[in-house]
């Protein structure tokens, strides 16, 4: 171990004594300047520069991903009310198809925020047929109606999580 100077001072606040160092660039930082990340304390500069490299998505990526997710999830949801029980098998495949279509559209760019937005768009697309029928019937669907909605809802849950984990999983 190297000998540490007796007292460290925060690089941003030269009057503040500290024992913390950024675990990336090693500069001394006080408690106010330290940001707790998944890998330990980091200075705000390092956190900022890292967010930039992890968030390379453009506005077009958002538009593309959200449109693809809403449209494909919507089509899948309409199908699921017809195929019923088979939704359990078809929904994960639909999720993979949607995630792959989006990956192709955004190429190698990635962003956690984009993946979350895409998952939300998938959920919206999936639940849209249910909402539109609810709106048309004015909530007077009764028990048979609820039964009809089970599969689109199951589909939406499965497809949304598949899309999110496929997109976010490969980005780590």
Residues that bind Zn ion (CB under 5 A): 10, 12-13, 22, 24-25, 30, 32-33, 43, 46
d(Cα 103, Cα 168) in Å, to the nearest integer?
Answer: 11
Q: Cβ 133 to Zn ion, closest distance in Å? A: 53
Is 18 or 122 the residue whose CB approaches Zn ion more closely?
18
Query: Residue 33: phi, psi to the nearest 5?
Result: -90, -15
Q: Cβ 51 to Zn ion, closest distance in Å? A: 13
Is 12 or 56 the residue whose CB approaches Zn ion more closely?
12
Q: Cβ 17 to Zn ion, closest distance in Å? A: 10
Is 30 or 99 the residue whose CB approaches Zn ion more closely?
30
Q: 76-101 b/e with 16+ CB inside 10 Å = b? A: bbebbbeeeeebeebbbebbeebbeb
Is 13 or 103 the residue whose CB approaches Zn ion more closely?
13
Q: Cβ 7 to Zn ion, closest distance in Å? A: 14
Q: 111-130 b/e with 16+ CB inside 10 Å = b? A: beebbebbbebbbbbbbbbb
């Amino acid at each position: 171990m190297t000998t540490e100077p007796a007292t460290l001072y925060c690089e941003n606040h030269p009057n503040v004594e500290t024992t913390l160092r950024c675990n990336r660039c090693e500069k001394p930082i006080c408690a106010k300047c330290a940001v707790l990340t998944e890998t330990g304390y980091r200075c705000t500069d390092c956190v900022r520069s890292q967010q930039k490299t992890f968030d390379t998505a453009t506005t077009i990526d958002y538009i593309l991903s959200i449109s693809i997710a809403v449209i494909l999830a919507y089509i899948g949801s309409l199908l699921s009310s017809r195929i019923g029980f088979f939704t359990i098998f078809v929904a994960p495949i639909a999720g993979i198809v949607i995630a792959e279509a989006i990956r192709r559209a955004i190429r190698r760019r990635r962003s956690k925020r984009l993946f979350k937005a895409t998952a939300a768009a998938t959920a919206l697309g999936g639940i849209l047929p249910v909402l539109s029928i609810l709106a048309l019937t004015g909530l007077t669907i009764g028990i048979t109606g609820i039964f009809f909605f089970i599969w689109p809802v199951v589909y939406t849950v499965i497809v949304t999580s598949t899309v999110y984990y496929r997109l976010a999983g490969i980005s780590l």
